[in-house]
Amino acid sequence: MAEKDAAEIGQITFFLAREEKNFAELIDSEADITKKSNYRKQVFKVGDNPCEFLFFEAHSERTNPPWLDFVNEQVQPKEHFSFSGHSKSANGILLIKIKDRIFAATFGRSAIGCLRKDRVEPDFGIKTAMNLCGNEEIRQTKSQSNTITTTHIDRQVAQPSDAFVFGLSEAEDLKYISAHVKGDKSITLQGRDSLTIKIIGEDKLSWDRLIKQCEQFLDAYASTDYAALFPNYKNFKPATSEETTSLDLILVNKLRSGDFEKLRLSIPEFLTDDEFSFSYTNYPSKDNIIHSHIDVSQLSSAFLLTEIDIEKLKSKKIYAYSPEDDRIIHNKRWVIYDCIVYEHELGGKYFILSDGRWVEVDDDFYKSIKDFVG
């Protein structure tokens, strides 16, 4: 292919695998990706970098939405309104190994649901974006406050501004930023667990540039420059495997006893109330119990609490439900363990479970909060 005809792309979203050495470990076996419509796999190389591309189609059947059935109650049977439709969409997962690390790029709405989110770096996107963008050309932030009730706070400005304009309080934990890359306003990075690169103008991402860009992302992810620029990003120390095991056991015992006092449930991303409700089941018929909001007390109906364990918390999911379409949104789901917010002291240290990770709260930070409350 001639250089002038080379295919390019202007936007792509990447996840970074933790320590996996082969591509298959990133794919969720429960997704049954090989059984999806038109599934195909291609293996190739870009330079010396091994790649794998998985393709499938997602199909959706539509029938009367609830509001149309509601109107039909006042319409003569012969004049009833009816609707049916069928849609399909292309989805893909691109896996690339660079410097012995695996990147996963998702395309289409359903592809992300096929990744094992517990196998990707949870802070890859936001750390990389903070280090490459700095704190002066920010467009949007999302933060979380784990007070009595978990609060998600979304801020957006009309033009790129520095972090001080956003007015983040000390109690907020920065979860997402969208900002221009330092020195290049044609490139925007959006960072949370994943990293989205968006390029405007004629100079898009070719395959060669894509590989170089991922190498730059790896270097930026390893940097600690963000610490001085973003004091609201709480880089808590991960709990050790032994501490995690002990804390998980304490959590399970709390649930088995029905002691929900210090437990909260919170979807680990910002969702608008008017678009979604929630369900703990995903039946093909309309037998799902729908909740307008999630609450920890609902776990007693989702589980037999006396038999609950960590494996069940990490396998059972919460699904988004669309009132508009009267259906479960299959690609919007979260394991319950990732939605639990719980705090506990262990061995003189204070830990928080959030986004599916136990982290140790900085001792000085914890003492300052206790002094302030006192």
As a whole number of angstroms, the distance between CA 115 and CA 3 comes to 33
Going by their DSSP bridges, the two strands 237-238 and 195-199 should be labelled as unpaired
Q: In the chain, what percentage of residues exceed pLDDT 70?
A: 90
Average pLDDT over residues 129-142: 87
Average pLDDT over residues 356-372: 71
pLDDT of residue 171: 65
Residue 147 has pLDDT above 70, yes or no: no
CA dist list (Å): 167 to 51, 151, 155, 189, 369: 43, 16, 9, 21, 19
- Which has more pLDDT, 355 or 77? 77
**Amino acid sitting at position 318:** I
Average pLDDT over residues 116-136: 89
- With beta carbons less than 8 A apart as the criterion, state whether 278 and 293 touch: yes
Average pLDDT over residues 254-263: 88
Average pLDDT, the chain: 85
Of the pLDDT bands very low, low, confident and very high (cuts 50, 70, 90), residue 71 is: very high
- With beta carbons less than 8 A apart as the criterion, state whether 96 and 102 touch: yes
- Residues belonging to the chain: 374
pLDDT of residue 371: 64
